[in-house]
A and B are shown apart, each in its own frame.
Chain A
């Protein structure tokens, strides 16, 4: 065989193997396109069938049809995978043959080399190398130093924030608390109080004010107390009766969901204005619920640009004043990341008739007097909360109670309502939560009851000392507790519903059939009500846990059910208010609608109910 024949053979081999590679490659590209563009699990036909199955869950024929289609899709997928793998090996084989043939071909065709010319002057090349090496070396070092200045040091920033959070209560309050002189004309009596304040109770409150400093023997390691350094303005705290006659916090008086208001409308029609006293749109959105004191209604709203507290006239819905949460020491320049379904204004405000206090997702807590003058503001440290902070505030006996359960630690604090100074702060062993504090009267004394993963616990309102704790919760706890019949009721989705005796820390009964995700339970007259996020309203016997009735609706509940005039008011997410009689039978009284979505909890005053829809604030009254 002469060289020409050899050349021809290797050339032909190269061409054949090259064409082979080309064909396999094209097939592989086609296969790749097919696999990428036809995800078997995103088949439209399959999705349609699955959608149908959700409407007809017991349709066995449909299930079989889906199974068959699913199997077909899987077969196609794995067949395609086999093709890819086989094709790859074929391509590799072809490429090796191609490379070998090409190499032999070029070797046979090679000619006698000509002596090469030295084209590079070595001395000049060396000089050039020196320059380039110097520039390169300097460039690398400069670039590296520059890069170091653009590093975001999260570890240090975390330490700084943590230090800020722990140091703030112990630091000098003058540095981080903005104290504004309270107007002297703060009304000592409430305009809308229908009965004379109970002077005995007021005295008790004043007494409590005097003994806010815990006795040393009560202070454990986890209880951190701060000595107030600013003179507290002498303002009378409202009596229990004042509080009950208003709806001063999230879920009304004491945060317990039961109102004493009367003459509440059970029907309205937004479209034709029937029983609609007023309707107004708030400047900024928020998932917080309305709070009422006297003739004033309070809510908050927030967006990326700012956080605001709104005061509206209860009778007309007109905006009386807007409090801006600006220039707050320690507040972040940029709000933290929160999810859309929580926002920066999820916590409801609280008021004692002298002051109104709001907290936002930025950790800023701000206090105004009833005329809209800012009294104080501080930042508690940006809450590390992946949805957004949502625990509402609660006030009692001149104190503001803040449940601050975050990813970076949990605590409960009491602040002076008049100055914002920390009275006590107790570290909690629980995980992050979204529930709000509730006041319960146990053995004749008020205590603060909080729920979170893993425990439900009671705290002394004067010292912050943990009085009892029961490990019974789990998950992301959103619903607050309910207190009634001497029992604390706590529940959470994927956990359980428990009835705890706070005097013995004993779980009286528990159930896990219907569990709420966001809406808090409410208890009255021996009956407990649970509203789930999947649209089931359930009534239990509060004492033994026996289910009395259940009602299923199209939409779930995020707003908590509340009681007024022995009626249950539960606003579902479609904006339908389900009004039922508080009884052992499910007796529907009415189902008036807002005409828009609803995620909040209504507030009551005599003759009216105020409901925050997703767009508007409504006041309904007979």
Chain B
């Protein structure tokens, strides 16, 4: 059977899975009085605290095992087994929630909203992977992240992405992280959760556009390995930073690299750094560029701040109060739209429109400073990423790029060197 046939079948599977999701629809109440009493809607009970701690314990176990398999046992099979377990437990059983990626928002909101009490499990889900990454590299990505797991399993024919494209797309996670923090800090929304492309697949239920997005990511993931992890994941930004300083990190070879080059194509994520022994030919020019780019970083930040300031009204439109106020101003006839739950809830509250508008304006003020900071942050990221392109570090051997390596262990299998 050719690989194209697999691809076709996989595509068909995804397509048909989507059709099943889109069949969820509401069904109106019966028209006649039959004596049947319509049950009142019930809010599902939250997961008990003890079960939340079980989740934390399982995360701890999985990430510990992943670190063990990656660094001590050097077992790709072990990591693969953990990937499958994570997909089933944190993905399909726990429906993708709680996850460390989304926990960023809980942490942010806990800092900005004194009335918000963060759960201990959310805090631990946020901290444990960061601590482990600081010690062992991104072993969380390797075996404990359900989003990474589902993408890892669909990698069929990965292609190498050129450096310029990787670096350029690599800016997006920073922008996403900044937006997620801004929206969480202003109490607007948890956009990471709302736009999680795989949550619909884990839950077997999602809005149409999210199903399409999930399918698109999986289809893309067959050729561009782990596209969400590499070019979107906001938690990956933090893990990337931590992993650079990791004390123990997975190595391709267990002993001395013999420069056999067998591993060079083993990484589907282009996360292997090749040896650089010679100095760049135009090193003086690079020094000048480095100074120039370093000096331009504040310029990028000021430009970003200005853009953030200009854009704060657009960004604020996502806040429910601002959205509702603008909706009622632009379409006042919606006051009588019984199907519009937002409007009807507001009307039922008895609050005058003026009060809502005042609240919306106050919320927009919050966005003013937040957007400026966001803009400056994005400017800083762009400026420093450009600057990093002229920094050369000498390397003797083939080694994983600590920032980008997911510690999946694929490369280890390719290394002929025995311990």
Does residue A553 face the partner (Cβ distance < 8 Å to B)?
no
Q: Are B164 and A91 in contact (CB under 8 A)?
A: no
Instruction: Say which residue of B171, B306, B336 sits within 8 Å of A137 (CB atoms).
Output: B171
Instruction: Say which residue of B165, B261, B390 sits within 8 Å of A130 (CB atoms).
Output: B390
Given contacts A21-B9, A41-B28, contact A134 B262 (CB under 8 A): no
Given contacts A84-B23, A154-B330, A155-B364, contact A113 B265 (CB under 8 A): yes
Tell me which residues across on chain B come within 8 A of A305, comparing CB atoms. none
Instruction: Say which residue of A22, A118, A337 sits within 8 Å of B333 (CB atoms).
Output: A337
The tally of residues in A whose CB lies under 8 Å from a CB in B reads 79
Does residue B6 face the partner (Cβ distance < 8 Å to A)?
yes
CA–CA, A592 to B360, complex, Å? 57
A78 to chain B, nearest CB (A): 8
Beta-carbon nearest neighbor of B276 in chain A: A122
Q: Are A133 and B168 in contact (CB under 8 A)?
A: yes
Tell me which residues across on chain A come within 8 A of B303, comparing CB atoms. 141
CA–CA, A90 to B28, complex, Å? 29
A273 to chain B, nearest CB (A): 43
Does residue B94 face the partner (Cβ distance < 8 Å to A)?
no
Chain A at the B interface: SS class: helix
A29 to chain B, nearest CB (A): 6
Does residue A75 face the partner (Cβ distance < 8 Å to B)?
no
Does residue B250 face the partner (Cβ distance < 8 Å to A)?
no
Chain A 62-85 near chain B by CB (<8 Å), digits 1 or 0: 010011001000100100010011
Instruction: Say which residue of A11, A337, A408 sits within 8 Å of B1 (CB atoms).
Output: A11
Chain B at the A interface: SS class: helix
Stretch touching chain B among A142-150, A344-352, A353-361: A142-150
Q: Are B313 and A148 in contact (CB under 8 A)?
A: yes
Does residue A125 face the partner (Cβ distance < 8 Å to B)?
yes
Does residue A199 face the partner (Cβ distance < 8 Å to B)?
no
CA–CA, A31 to B9, complex, Å? 20
Q: Are B167 and A129 in contact (CB under 8 A)?
A: yes
CA–CA, A84 to B360, complex, Å? 43
Does residue B98 face the partner (Cβ distance < 8 Å to A)?
no
Q: Are A386 and B336 in contact (CB under 8 A)?
A: yes
Given contacts A128-B164, A132-B168, contact A158 B23 (CB under 8 A): no
Q: Are B307 and A24 in contact (CB under 8 A)?
A: no
Chain A 95-129 near chain B by CB (<8 Å), digits 1 or 0: 10011001001000000010111111011011111
Instruction: Say which residue of B167, B329, B332 sits within 8 Å of A157 (CB atoms).
Output: B329
Q: Are B307 and A144 in contact (CB under 8 A)?
A: yes
Chain B 260-292 near chain A by CB (<8 Å), digits 1 or 0: 111111100000001010001100000001000
CA–CA, A121 to B5, complex, Å? 35
Beta-carbon nearest neighbor of A26 in chain B: B16
Q: Are B9 and A18 in contact (CB under 8 A)?
A: yes
CA–CA, A31 to B19, complex, Å? 9
CA–CA, A67 to B34, complex, Å? 9
Tell me which residues across on chain A come within 8 A of B364, comparing CB atoms. 155
Stretch touching chain A among B37-45, B118-126, B131-139, B378-386: B378-386
Tell me which residues across on chain A come within 8 A of B175, comparing CB atoms. 140
CA–CA, A154 to B204, complex, Å? 38
Q: Are A67 and B20 in contact (CB under 8 A)?
A: no
Beta-carbon nearest neighbor of A383 in chain B: B332
B326 to chain A, nearest CB (A): 4
Q: Are B13 and A25 in contact (CB under 8 A)?
A: yes
Given contacts A98-B9, A120-B162, contact A32 B332 (CB under 8 A): no
Given contacts A22-B9, A41-B28, A120-B162, contact A145 B167 (CB under 8 A): no
B315 to chain A, nearest CB (A): 9
Beta-carbon nearest neighbor of B27 in chain A: A77
Q: Are A125 and B260 in contact (CB under 8 A)?
A: no
Q: Are B13 and A95 in contact (CB under 8 A)?
A: yes
CA–CA, A124 to B389, complex, Å? 11
Chain B 2-36 near chain A by CB (<8 Å), digits 1 or 0: 00001001001101110110110001101110100
Does residue A131 face the partner (Cβ distance < 8 Å to B)?
yes
Q: Are B13 and A144 in contact (CB under 8 A)?
A: no
Beta-carbon nearest neighbor of A126 in chain B: B389
Given contacts A123-B281, A157-B329, contact A147 B311 (CB under 8 A): yes
Tell me which residues across on chain B come within 8 A of A549, comparing CB atoms. none
Tell me which residues across on chain A come within 8 A of B334, comparing CB atoms. 386
Interface size class of B (residues with CB under 8 A): 35 or more
Instruction: Say which residue of B16, B332, B389 sits within 8 Å of A407 (CB atoms).
Output: B332
Instruction: Say which residue of B9, B153, B265, B389 sits within 8 Å of A133 (CB atoms).
Output: B389
Given contacts A22-B12, A154-B329, contact A70 B386 (CB under 8 A): no
Tell me which residues across on chain B come within 8 A of A118, comparing CB atoms. 264, 274
Does residue A28 face the partner (Cβ distance < 8 Å to B)?
yes
Chain B 139-165 near chain A by CB (<8 Å), digits 1 or 0: 000000000000001100000101111
Tell me which residues across on chain A come within 8 A of B306, comparing CB atoms. 145
Within 294-326 of B, Cβ neighbours of A (below 8 Å) are at 300, 303-304, 306-307, 310-311, 313-314, 317, 322, 325-326
Does residue B353 face the partner (Cβ distance < 8 Å to A)?
yes
Q: Are A137 and B300 in contact (CB under 8 A)?
A: yes
Chain A 402-414 near chain B by CB (<8 Å), digits 1 or 0: 0000011000000
B20 to chain A, nearest CB (A): 4
Q: Are B313 and A28 in contact (CB under 8 A)?
A: no
Q: Are A70 and B31 in contact (CB under 8 A)?
A: yes
CA–CA, A18 to B5, complex, Å? 10
CA–CA, A35 to B20, complex, Å? 11
CA–CA, A582 to B4, complex, Å? 88
B62 to chain A, nearest CB (A): 19
Q: Are A113 and B23 in contact (CB under 8 A)?
A: no
Q: Are B330 and A145 in contact (CB under 8 A)?
A: no
B116 to chain A, nearest CB (A): 26
Q: Are A88 and B204 in contact (CB under 8 A)?
A: yes
Q: Are B314 and A151 in contact (CB under 8 A)?
A: yes
Instruction: Say which residue of A113, A117, A129, A149 sits within 8 Å of B414 (CB atoms).
Output: A113
Beta-carbon nearest neighbor of A64 in chain B: B32
* Most B Cβ at <10 Å: residue of A98, A120, A155, A385: A155
Given contacts A21-B9, A99-B153, contact A126 B163 (CB under 8 A): yes
B54 to chain A, nearest CB (A): 24
Tell me which residues across on chain A come within 8 A of B32, comparing CB atoms. 63, 66-67, 70
Does residue A217 face the partner (Cβ distance < 8 Å to B)?
no
Does residue A14 face the partner (Cβ distance < 8 Å to B)?
yes
Within 373-404 of A, Cβ neighbours of B (below 8 Å) are at 384-387
Q: Are B330 and A148 in contact (CB under 8 A)?
A: no
Given contacts A25-B15, A95-B13, A123-B281, contact A136 B378 (CB under 8 A): no
Within 486-527 of A, Cβ neighbours of B (below 8 Å) are at none
Does residue A330 face the partner (Cβ distance < 8 Å to B)?
no
Given contacts A84-B20, A128-B163, contact A407 B390 (CB under 8 A): no
Tell me which residues across on chain B come within 8 A of A128, comparing CB atoms. 162-164
Q: Are A14 and B1 in contact (CB under 8 A)?
A: yes
CA–CA, A84 to B19, complex, Å? 9
Beta-carbon nearest neighbor of A388 in chain B: B333
Instruction: Say which residue of B13, B264, B313, B335 sits within 8 Å of A115 (CB atoms).
Output: B264
- 4 more A-B residue pairs beyond the given contacts A141-B303, A386-B335, with a C-beta to C-beta distance below 8 A: A28-B19, A132-B168, A140-B382, A145-B306
Q: What are some 21 contacts across the A-B interface (CB < 8 A)?
A: A11-B1, A15-B1, A70-B31, A77-B27, A85-B20, A87-B20, A98-B9, A115-B261, A122-B276, A125-B164, A126-B163, A126-B389, A129-B163, A130-B390, A133-B167, A145-B307, A145-B311, A147-B314, A151-B317, A155-B329, A337-B331
Write the residues of chain B forming the contact surface with A, with a CB cutoff of 8 angstroms: 1, 6, 9, 12-13, 15-17, 19-20, 22-23, 27-28, 30-32, 34, 153-154, 160, 162-165, 167-168, 171, 175, 204, 260-266, 274, 276, 280-281, 289, 300, 303-304, 306-307, 310-311, 313-314, 317, 322, 325-326, 329-336, 353, 357, 360-361, 364, 378-379, 382-383, 385-386, 389-390, 414
The 10 closest A-B pairs by CB, nearest first: A25-B16, A116-B264, A386-B333, A137-B382, A115-B261, A116-B265, A125-B163, A154-B326, A148-B310, A88-B20
